[in-house]
Structure 1
Amino acid sequence: MIDLSEQEIFRRKSLEELKSRGIDPYPADEYIVTDYSTEIKRGFREDSPRWEVSVAGRMMSRRIMGKVSFVELQDSVGRIQLYIKCDSLCPNENKDLYYIVFKKLLDIGDFIGIKGYVFCTQTGEISIHVNSLTLLSKSLRPLPIVKSKDGMTYDSYNDVELRYRQRYVDLIVNEGTKDIFLKRTKIFNSVRSFFNEKGYIEVDTPVLQSIPGGAAARPFVTHHNALDIPCYLRIANELYLKRLIVGGFEGVYEFSRNFRNEGIDKVHNPEFTVVEVYVSYKDYKWMMNFTEQMLEHICIEILGSTELKIGEYIINFKAPYRRITMIDVIEENTGVNIAGMNENQLREVCRFLHIEEDKTMSSGKLIDEIFGKKCEWKYIQPTFIIDYPKEMSPLCKCHRQNAELTERFELIVNGFELANAYSELNDPIDQRKRFEDQLKLSKKGDNEAMFIDQDFLRALEYGMPPTSGMGIGMDRLVMLLTKQTSIQEVLLFPHMRPEKLDY
């Protein structure tokens, strides 16, 4: 049994009365829209010929004053005022469309289509004088719009949990929400066009994988019934893209929806989007320059500037960015030089710095904890953290000057990782040894350690040219460029604990 509010009961009664009058509250016919609110406001001139328009959208407010009413209509791009006069809407003797249908049976939230002409009111507001009105969809739930003492309406939908759970309502009543996701699309398009102009090929790789490879992360596990095998949702697409480099592609990229069965916080969501790009005959130094060029280009295209003000900081994406090694970063922020330290010594450092550690953590994990707790959040301006210890980067080529390090960088902006890149490991013997080391970590209790991917090793044995690869967290990039402090704000439907519904 559905527990209905008083307003929901009233709207259902209106629905039935509309049907009894022969009005379909959910008509199937196409409604032709000729114009939109923003272009009407932008293009109207009082000295121009009469402009006849056909517009459709949702009623967001209504002021009824006898034979004349004003409606605020929200279409897909904005809002515009409608001027509805009884005699214009109902030129014949029968005035039911105005007095009964419009005034009594329609509600805030209903979709309507109107035809009329554009004019400017005495108060200077560009409006539409309505001559025809059609109900396109009846709303059975009231929108969270509160009426104030002066009779005007305003939106009141600020509860974060409600906004994330019912994003459809958030998009209706909070104007800024839609702007975030329109800008998100523009950012994705800007990245795509930048790669395309370089001649790189966009590809698709499997989301459902037999081995969760390409990153140190805990996967989601499922079962493939037809093949009767365990399968994993993709944690990364790296190993498949490198297979394509083996196969002869010189540059490939993919917008990858990844899934990691891990925590949720302001910069992490179990389901997220990255773009990864792999280019033959390049190294991580080239990729740092490439990343700077790309981000500078995107900021200018999206923001019109390389500068972005977030809180008290002005972040500047103009190249070049600072470059500092992982070892130097830790010493810069803690005073401790970890170069050459073994696992036990690193545990002592963690205890000295009051960082929690446990027996499952390897040297790489311990270093990562030190960096995350004591360093990362301090870097606001774009900064390349380079030359990571070998154990932290099992898919990365050894540093050409120091075999204990790797040719890897992470780009930190506003206190969190935005990009990760390597000179890719293309030595199949070394790669097999690294996978075997990861297997040992897994047996030790590390549930994020990588599996051995025998097919990927076979691909490397056919030969992969020198290659550099880079991944950018697209959700985090959108966070930055839309000035949001939580990743949930830039995901249309972020993961949440299921709610208990009454029906």
Structure 2
Amino acid sequence: MSTAQNLREKRLKKLEKIREIGWDPYPSSYEKKQMINETREMEGKVVKTAGKLFSFRTHGNIAFADLKDETGKIQLFFKRDVLGDEVYKHLSLLDVGDYVGVEGTVLKTTAGEISIVPTKYTFLSKSLQQLPHEWFGLKDTEQRFRQRYLDLLLNPDVRERFNTRTRLLRHMREYLDGLGFWEVETPIFHPQYGGANAKPFTTHYNALGQDMYLRIAFELYLKRLISGGYERVYEIGRDFRNEGFDRSHSPEFTMIEWYEAYADYHRVMDVTEGLFKHLAQKLNGSSKMKIDEKEIDLSGKWPRITMNDIMKKELGIEVETASQESLLAYCTEHSIGLIGGETKGQIIFAIFEHSIPEKLIEPIWIIDYPEDVSPLSKNHRSKPGWVERFEGYIGGKEICDGWSELT
């Protein structure tokens, strides 16, 4: 029998013993009156709280444990003379990973540690599996992503990332609502997919006898709302693309799209730039943020530079006037893979994608794209063959894109 099986068997016997003495190891509810971070500020007062045990050790007539909830951790200081012999003896039924409720007084130990001295403890959920050791944490990447609940329990920075994401969505809504946008929900099942260049997931709607697609974008239905009389709408939700899977691409992901009547791509860039500055202030209290080891400052007006000008600056290529043959030669010389049969605009975009993004560290807008790679964008008002499209870059990565919409 493996070690894990042995430990499970021992815990099952403890579970049986808990039931024998008349305690319910899985009660329906518990009246938790304080979060643990609150109890730490209540020295000298009686509290009633609950959480998960992350350590447990006995020393004769006293025992110590660490109790955690989503707000923090506090030490439990069990005393035989406070609990009584019989109840103290049953502490042996506790294991790391159990959920426990405690009532008692908050005090400082002689070592200066804020602790709860329980007068009563209650089993709330007996754990039958052993947690990974908290000191070493959960390091295996495969296990972390397959068992996110363990990752959340043992890696505080992961929980903070989850919390930051929640706050970010809240502040996104706050910003757009303040500009008069309406948040909407549109269908996830589409009879026809569109709004992006991506391969969809297919399913079947039995009641209609019809194949349907999980949406790859919100665009088509949001535009219908604009046609129906709304002037500013946005949606935050899940999109699904049946494509690659890596650190920066997931087949299921959260996206935000918004549409505004009467606005061109300069207005959309203004709104987007304002959104990022708003989020930075709300989440960091500063316009500065760190990406890897680079400090990025989002304040000030972000430069807007055309694709032609950035490629001329960084690569020395004047793509607007360059011949298709010279661009193909550049791709060959720099090992830029092409399928064959690309148009000039597609070759320009391939060179850009291969060579430029990693150079765009500070916030910047790249504007005016070849029409060959931007089918949903309005033609540029003064440059034939180009469209009014933008992409925003921060820290060497594309963070958003948009355009003056075809009407």
Please state which band the TM-score falls in when normalised by the shorter chain: over 0.9
Q: Helix, strand or coil: the match of 2:351?
A: helix
2:302 matches 1:358: no
After TM superposition, the structure 1 = structure 2 runs for residues 29-40 of structure 1, keeping only pairs within 5 Å, are 30-40=29-39
1:77 is matched with which residue? Answer: 71
Q: Is the 8 A contact 1:256 1:276 kept in 2?
A: no
After TM superposition, the structure 1 = structure 2 runs for residues 68-107 of structure 1, keeping only pairs within 5 Å, are 68-90=62-84, 95-99=85-89, 101-103=90-92, 105-107=93-95
Select the residue among 91, 111, 120 that pairs with 1:132: 120
Structure 1 residue 328 displacement after superposition: 2.1
Q: TM-score, normalised by structure 1?
A: 0.77
Flag structure 1 segments of 5+ consecutive residues without an equivalent.
146-152, 427-503
2:224 matches 1:243: yes
| Residues 378 and 208 of structure 1, relative CA distance in 2, 3 Å threshold | same
Structure 1 residue 297 displacement after superposition: 1.3
C-alpha distance after superposition, 1:123-150 (max 9, x if no partner): 22211111110000011110001xxxxx
After TM superposition, the structure 1 = structure 2 runs for residues 378-457 of structure 1, keeping only pairs within 5 Å, are 378-426=359-407
- One-letter amino acid matched to 2:401: N
Q: For residues 97 and 188 of structure 1, what CA distance do their matches in structure 2 show?
A: 47
Identify the range of structure 1 (273-282 vs 5-14) with the bigger mean alpha-carbon deviation. 5-14
Q: For residues 57 and 341 of structure 2, what CA distance do their matches in structure 1 show?
A: 66
Equivalenced residue count is 407
Q: For residues 208 and 46 of structure 2, what CA distance do their matches in structure 1 show?
A: 61
After TM superposition, the structure 1 = structure 2 runs for residues 224-303 of structure 1, keeping only pairs within 5 Å, are 224-303=205-284
Q: Helix, strand or coil: the match of 1:118?
A: strand
Q: For residues 112 and 349 of structure 2, what CA distance do their matches in structure 1 show?
A: 61
- One-letter amino acid matched to 2:78: I
Q: For residues 341 and 55 of structure 2, what CA distance do their matches in structure 1 show?
A: 59
Q: For residues 242 and 343 of structure 2, what CA distance do their matches in structure 1 show?
A: 20
2:108 matches 1:120: yes
2:96 is matched with which residue? Answer: 108
C-alpha distance after superposition, 1:326-369 (max 9, x if no partner): 12223333222222567666444322321111137555543333
Q: For residues 14 and 345 of structure 2, what CA distance do their matches in structure 1 show?
A: 65
- One-letter amino acid matched to 1:18: I
| Residues 341 and 241 of structure 1, relative CA distance in 2, 3 Å threshold | farther
Q: Helix, strand or coil: the match of 2:369?
A: coil
- One-letter amino acid matched to 1:242: K
Structure 1 residue 271 displacement after superposition: 1.0
- One-letter amino acid matched to 1:163: R
Q: Is the 8 A contact 1:89 1:133 kept in 2?
A: no
Structure 1 residue 314 displacement after superposition: 1.1
Q: Is the 8 A contact 1:293 1:319 kept in 2?
A: no
1:44 is matched with which residue? Answer: 42
Q: For residues 200 and 326 of structure 2, what CA distance do their matches in structure 1 show?
A: 31
Percent sequence identity is: 40
- One-letter amino acid matched to 2:126: K
Q: Helix, strand or coil: the match of 1:330?
A: helix
Structure 1 residue 97 displacement after superposition: 2.5
Q: Is the 8 A contact 2:349 2:370 kept in 1?
A: no
Q: For residues 331 and 268 of structure 1, what CA distance do their matches in structure 2 show?
A: 30
Select the residue among 143, 161, 165 that pairs with 2:146: 165
| Residues 108 and 388 of structure 1, relative CA distance in 2, 3 Å threshold | same
Q: Is the 8 A contact 1:292 1:318 kept in 2?
A: no
Structure 1 residue 122 displacement after superposition: 1.7
Q: For residues 377 and 39 of structure 2, what CA distance do their matches in structure 1 show?
A: 55
Q: Helix, strand or coil: the match of 2:145?
A: helix
Q: TM-score, normalised by structure 2?
A: 0.95
Q: For residues 330 and 207 of structure 1, what CA distance do their matches in structure 2 show?
A: 39
| Residues 182 and 385 of structure 1, relative CA distance in 2, 3 Å threshold | same
C-alpha distance after superposition, 1:26-60 (max 9, x if no partner): 112x211111121222x335xxxx41111110000
Identify the range of structure 1 (59-68 vs 283-292) with the bigger mean alpha-carbon deviation. 283-292
2:3 matches 1:9: no
Structure 1 residue 62 displacement after superposition: 1.2
> Relative contact order: is structure 1 or structure 2 higher (C-alpha 8 Å, sep ≥ 6)?
1
Q: Helix, strand or coil: the match of 2:135?
A: strand
C-alpha distance after superposition, 1:373-432 (max 9, x if no partner): 111122111110100111211111111111311111110111111111111110xxxxxx
| Residues 225 and 350 of structure 1, relative CA distance in 2, 3 Å threshold | farther
Q: Helix, strand or coil: the match of 1:315?
A: strand
2:354 is matched with which residue? Answer: 373
- One-letter amino acid matched to 1:77: T
Select the residue among 44, 52, 63 that pairs with 1:58: 52
**RMSD, aligned CA:** 2.0
Q: For residues 112 and 55 of structure 1, what CA distance do their matches in structure 2 show?
A: 9
Q: For residues 122 and 18 of structure 1, what CA distance do their matches in structure 2 show?
A: 33
Q: For residues 221 and 3 of structure 1, what CA distance do their matches in structure 2 show?
A: 44
Q: For residues 380 and 294 of structure 1, what CA distance do their matches in structure 2 show?
A: 19
Q: Helix, strand or coil: the match of 2:239?
A: strand
| Residues 35 and 155 of structure 1, relative CA distance in 2, 3 Å threshold | farther
2:196 matches 1:215: yes
| Residues 231 and 299 of structure 1, relative CA distance in 2, 3 Å threshold | same
Q: Is the 8 A contact 1:409 1:420 kept in 2?
A: yes
